Amino acid sequence: MTLSSSSKKNTALLVLTAALGYFVDIYDLVIFSIVRVKSFHDIGIAETDMRLLGEYVLNMQMAGLLIGGLIWGVIGDKYGRIKVLFGSIFLYSAANMINGFVNDIHSYALIRFVAGIGLAGELGAGITLVAETMGKEKRGYGTMIVAGVGLFGAAAAAVIADIYDWRTAYFAGGIMGFLLLLLRVGTFESGMYEKMSKSTAAKGSLRLLFSSRERIVKYFNCILIGIPLWFIIGILVTQSPEIGKALGAPEPLNAGKGILFTYLGIAIGDVLAGLFAQISRSRRLTVLIFQFLSIISVFAYLSFKGITQQQFIWLCLCMGLSAGYWATFVTIAAEQFGTNIRSLVTTTAPNFVRGALIPITFVFEFFVGFTNIITAGYIMILLLSGIGIYALSQLKESFNKDLNYLEEDEAVGQYNVLS
C-alpha cells in the first residue's frame, strides 16, 4: 500500500515527536546519575554516604518507573497512546522543575520517585505508536530513529550539567518537556488503536496478560533480555568513581562524562542494531550479537588497571555501543502481543528492566560484601547476560509480523485479526 503525501507527513511528524519526547525522557532519566556528586555535596551529604544514598535515590526513581509503567500501560490501551504521551511528559517535566528546589535527601528521593512515574510512559507509548503506524517492513527504521535521536538526551544532560549548576540542569529538563507539549498538539492516534477501541475485547488488562501461561512466559522473557543493559548504565557507569578507585585510577573517574559517552555509544549502537536487524531480517540474532559484545566490553572495563579518564571515556563508548540494542529490545516487546495489550507490554517491559536495577543493586551489594566491587561486576554481567541470552532463545522471531490482531481469553481463542 502506497501512503499519500499527507499520511507520510503525519507519520514523519509522529516519528519526530516520539524521538524528541524520548530525548527529553532520557535527559530527565539520567540527570540524577550525572549530578549526583555535585548535588549531594550542596545538600550536605557526607562523602562516605554518597554511594549508598545515591543507590537509595536512584532506586526510588526506579520504583516510580515500575509503578508508572503499569499506570501508563493501562491508560495507553484503554484510553489511547496519545493521552500517555501528553500526561507522562507533563508529570515528569513538573517533577524536574520542583527537583531544582530540594535541600534534603528524602525530598530528593520523593521527587525522583514522582519523576520516575512520569518517565515511565514516554518510550512505550512512542514505540507503540510508531510500530502500529508504519508498515511492517519499515517499522524497525522508525523505532531506530526514535531511540537514536532520543538517546542523545543523555549527551545534552551531561553538557548542560557541566556548564551550569545542578539545579539549573533540572530546570532545563522541565522547560524542555513543557516546550515539547506544544509540538505534540495535533499528533494523531494509530489506526490500529482506533479499530481496537471500537471492539469489545478487554483493553489494557493485567488479568488478560497473566491469564495465559504462554503470555506470562513470553512477557517475562521480553523483560529479561534487556536487564544486562541497565546494569551497565545504572551500576558500572554510575558508580565509576568507586570502581575507578578500586582499579587504581590516578584521578577520580567522572560519572557524568561516563554517562555522556555511554549514551552516545548506545545511540550509535541502536542505529547499527536497527540496520543490522533490517538487513538480517532477525531481531533475535541482532540482540544475541550485542549481548555477547556487552560481556566483552564490560570485562575490558573491569580489568583495566590504572584506568585514566581518557581510557574510561573510550571504554564507556564501547560499552554503550555494545549495549545499543535498546530500541530493538523494545520493538521485540511491541511485536510479541496484540493491539489491546500492546501499550501495557511495551510500556511496562522497559520500565521493569529499569526497575530491575533495584534487586540487581541488592544482589550486587551482596557480592561486593562477599568479594569486592570489581569481582562483583564480573559475576553480575555473566549472571545477567546468561539470563538474557536464555530468555532470548525462548522468544519467536517477530520481524515482519503483522501486528493488526487482538489478544483474547483462552476460552475465546488466542487472538482475532482486526478487520
What is the C-alpha separation between 187 and 247, in angstroms, rounded? 50
User: What confidence tens digit (pLDDT) does each residue in 317-342 have?
Assistant: 999 999 988 888 888 988 898 888 88
pLDDT of residue 267: 83
User: What is the CATH number assigned to the segment(s) 12-190+202-417?
Assistant: 1.20.1250.20
Burial of residue 90 (CB within 10 Å: 0-12, 13-18, 19+) is middle
User: What confidence tens digit (pLDDT) does each residue in 173-201 have?
Assistant: 999 999 888 877 667 777 777 777 777 77
Which cell goes with 97?
A: 522543575
Which cell goes with 232?
A: 551497565
Q: 415: part of which helix (H) or strand (E)?
A: strand 415-417
Angle subtended by helix axes 139-150 and 255-280, to nearest 10: 170
**Distances 151 to 35, 57, 86, 198, 320 between C-alpha atoms, Å:** 18, 22, 20, 35, 11
Interval 102-109 mean pLDDT: 93
Q: 416: part of which helix (H) or strand (E)?
A: strand 415-417
116 DSSP 8-state letter:
H
Q: 211: part of which helix (H) or strand (E)?
A: none
Contact 385, 291 (CB under 8 A): yes
What is the number of alpha carbons within 13 Å of residue 158 lying toward its C-beta? 18
Backbone dihedral region for residue 278 (phi beyond 0: left; psi -120 to 50: alpha; all else: beta): alpha
What is the C-alpha separation between 225 and 232, in angstroms, rounded? 14
What is the number of alpha carbons within 13 Å of residue 419 lying toward its C-beta? 2
What is the C-alpha separation between 74 and 270, in angstroms, rounded? 27
User: What confidence tens digit (pLDDT) does each residue in 350-376 have?
Assistant: 888 887 888 998 999 999 999 999 999
Contact 249, 306 (CB under 8 A): yes
Other CB atoms within 10 A of residue 268 CB: 16
Interval 391-402 mean pLDDT: 89
Which cell goes with 274?
A: 536497527
Interval 138-146 mean pLDDT: 81
For the whole model, what pTM was predicted? 0.79
Residue 403 CB contacts under 8 Å (≥ 6 apart), including other chains: 131, 132, 136, 192, 334, 335, 339, 342
Contact 173, 310 (CB under 8 A): no
pLDDT of residue 415: 44
Interval 258-268 mean pLDDT: 86
Q: What is the mean pLDDT of the chain?
A: 87
Backbone dihedral region for residue 201 (phi beyond 0: left; psi -120 to 50: alpha; all else: beta): beta
| Three-state DSSP class for residue 351 | helix
What is the C-alpha separation between 379 and 373, in angstroms, rounded? 10
pLDDT of residue 97: 94
**Distances 116 to 21, 57, 146, 324, 358 between C-alpha atoms, Å:** 15, 11, 20, 22, 13
| Three-state DSSP class for residue 407 | strand
Assess whether pLDDT exceeds 50 at residue 90.
yes
What is the C-alpha separation between 336 and 397, in angstroms, rounded? 9
| Residue in the block written with cell 560519572 | 255
Interval 294-310 mean pLDDT: 95
End-to-end CA distance of the chain: 16
User: What confidence tens digit (pLDDT) does each residue in 208-259 have?
Assistant: 888 889 999 999 999 999 999 889 988 999 889 999 999 999 998 988 788 8
What is the C-alpha separation between 285 and 51, in angstroms, rounded? 37
Assess whether pLDDT exceeds 60 at residue 70.
yes
Contact 218, 336 (CB under 8 A): yes
pLDDT of residue 417: 47
